[in-house]
């Protein structure tokens, strides 16, 4: 199944992707996982056309996927006040477009997952007409909903009983007691705070039967123990309620002054001989290391990047999902905006 790339842009993209992967310690030749690895991929609404093309491609050419890869759901949100984590101001969809998106994912056999993690919602916001329209349209396919706000979660559980719920990593639960308490609720999944990614004592303390409910965010590049993360979530929530973009507030918000990543991390603290290169000091998990988690009973993994352009988004997916010998073919098949 050799495939020759003749497009100069695609050749450049492959070379750039390979350089990035090697620099960050990713095994370019990694073929796949020993057991099933379930992935939740981002961009369900933000990059809908690309995600649709990607999912259709791997459905039609399943040999593109690494061994034992299963894509369970696509997550994201249209622009709406319930959205959190990332500020969205430009991706609105009308009613018919939303129905088409719903039907597309249904036909592909992929669960749709809303990111409704605005942490500053009040009672008035619960009755937002557009947000409720989203749930009304998708209710008959039993959507998954990632939640942060207790009042929104309570409202959705009461009004949309067909939905299932995921506890968001944006809750920033910093003690093991708080994090373990999440398992007492009937969440379908609990997305761990990614500061626990390398806390193997804590991971082993999770009851084995509950590990199938754990979701691990694998490609976070935030510094470990970052004290600005809660403020980041608050700022994102505030911007979404006001329909302001990140750039509208970049000079005024304290988050941008405190965030170590924006202010020079990790490049200022790199060790030249570190195995993880640019991601040293972060919670980033290399694809070839996921088998360590799978062997412990954790086999659900989240790939973030809702705000990224399609070329960068594809670069996030590639090392986790696509077999290395088919990188060129995958890039040539999938429609990537230039």
Q: What is the pLDDT of residue 238?
A: 92
Residue with tokens 């500061």: 195
Per-residue confidence (pLDDT) for residue 335, from 0 to 100:
55
**Which pLDDT tens digit goes with each residue over 191-238?**
999 999 999 999 999 999 999 999 999 999 888 988 888 888 998 999
pTM over 0.85: yes
Q: What is the pLDDT of residue 28?
A: 87
How far is it, in rounded angstroms, from Cα 195 to Cα 197?
Answer: 6
pLDDT for 327: 81
**Which range has the worst mean pLDDT, 50-54, 59-63, 310-314?**
310-314
Q: Collapse the DSSP code of 306 into the 3-class scheme (helix H, G, I; strand E, B; otherwise coil) and give the result.
A: coil
Whether 173 and 182 have beta carbons less than 8 Å apart is answered as yes
pLDDT of 145 over the 70 cut: yes
Dist. CA 17–CA 275, nearest whole Å: 18
CB atoms within 10 A of CB 103: 11
Residues 321, 57: contact at Cβ < 8 Å? no
**Range in 39-48, 59-68, 264-273 the model is least confident about:** 264-273
Q: How high does pLDDT run on average in the chain? A: 88
5 falls in which pLDDT band (50, 70, 90)? very low
Helix (H, G, I), strand (E, B) or coil at 120: coil
In the predicted model, what is the mean pLDDT of residues 75-89?
95
pLDDT band at 3 (very low <50, low <70, confident <90, very high): very low
- What per-residue confidence (pLDDT) applies to 6? 52
Question: Which pLDDT belongs to residue 263?
Answer: 60
- Candidates 70, 160, 81, 66; CA nearest to 117 is 81
Query: Which positions ≥6 away from 155 have C-beta within 8 Å?
Result: 126
Question: What tens digit of pLDDT does each residue of 29-60 get?
Answer: 999 999 999 999 999 999 999 999 999 999 99
CA dihedral 86, 69, 294, 165 (to 10 degrees): 40
Q: Residue 12: is its pLDDT beyond 90?
A: no
What's the distance, CA 249 to chain centroid?
A: 24
Average of per-residue pLDDT across 175-185? 96
Answer yes or no: is pLDDT of 253 > 70: no
Instruction: List domains and CATH numbers for the chain.
Output: 33-224+282-332 (3.20.20.70)
């Amino acid at each position: 199944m050799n495939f020759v790339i003749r497009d100069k842009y695609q050749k450049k993209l492959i070379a750039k992707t390979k350089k990035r992967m090697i620099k960050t310690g990713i095994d370019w030749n990694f073929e796949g996982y020993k057991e099933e690895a379930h992935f939740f991929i981002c961009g369900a609404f933000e990059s809908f056309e690309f995600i649709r093309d990607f999912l259709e491609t791997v459905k039609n050419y399943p040999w593109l996927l690494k061994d034992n890869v299963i894509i369970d759901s696509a997550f994201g949100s249209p622009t709406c006040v319930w959205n959190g984590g990332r500020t969205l101001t430009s991706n609105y969809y009308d009613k018919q477009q939303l129905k088409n998106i719903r039907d597309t994912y249904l036909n592909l056999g992929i669960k749709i997952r809303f990111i409704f993690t605005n942490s500053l919602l009040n009672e008035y916001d619960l009755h937002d007409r557009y947000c409720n329209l989203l749930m009304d349209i998708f209710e008959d396919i039993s959507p998954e909903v990632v939640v942060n706000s207790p009042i929104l979660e309570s409202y959705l559980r009461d009004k949309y009983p067909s939905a299932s719920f995921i506890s968001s990593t944006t809750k920033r639960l910093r003690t093991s007691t708080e994090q373990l308490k999440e398992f007492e609720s009937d969440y379908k999944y609990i997305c761990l705070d990614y500061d626990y990614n390398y806390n193997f004592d804590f991971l082993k303390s999770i009851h084995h039967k509950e590990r199938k409910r754990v979701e691990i965010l694998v490609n976070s590049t935030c510094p470990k123990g970052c004290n600005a993360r809660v403020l980041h979530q608050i700022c994102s929530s505030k911007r979404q309620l006001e329909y302001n973009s990140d750039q509208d507030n970049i000079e005024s918000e304290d988050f941008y002054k405190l965030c170590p990543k924006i202010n020079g991390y990790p490049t200022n603290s790199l060790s030249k001989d570190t195995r993880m290169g640019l991601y040293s000091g972060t919670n980033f998990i290399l694809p070839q290391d996921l088998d360590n988690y799978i062997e412990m009973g954790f086999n659900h993994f989240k790939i973030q990047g809702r705000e990224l352009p399609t070329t960068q988004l594809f670069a996030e997916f590639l090392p986790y999902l696509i077999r290395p010998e088919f990188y060129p073919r995958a890039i040539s098949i999938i429609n990537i905006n230039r």
